[in-house]
Structure 1
Amino acid sequence: MPKLKTRKAAAKRFRVTGSGKKIVRRKAYKNHLLNHKSSEQKRRRLSQTALVSEQDEPNVRLMLPYL
């Protein structure tokens, strides 16, 4: 069986939790156009990590076979 390739774009965006059961991602909307967003929104809500939804998790695992 040949080795599987990792999608490098996905490897930069997703990590696995300590238990290895869930996948973690960054939240969107914190790259640009930040002037009109409140400091609280940027600091508290958008800086936190989030879990990948259960529906999307199989697709992410296919992109990252050695996760």
Structure 2
Amino acid sequence: MTAPSQLTWITSSYSGGSGTECVECARIGTGTLIRDTKWAEGPIVRVGAKPWTAFVRSLGQGDSSA
């Protein structure tokens, strides 16, 4: 896996931009990595491509149960 510091991390456009962001994501070949914005050296969660796509799709449809 690519070192976390070499990845392109993306913060949601819905985040406040004042240090109050919760998470950021980075795409990798097999899915997506998720980490706490304020703790970049902390744990990283890896989500496979299919579950990530389903999650994002459900958000786009307004499914609050995702």
TM-score (norm 1): 0.27
Bigger strand share = 2
Higher relative contact order (CA 8 A, sep 6+): 1
TM-score (norm 2): 0.27
Work out which of the two has the higher radius of gyration on C-alpha atoms and give 1 or 2: 1
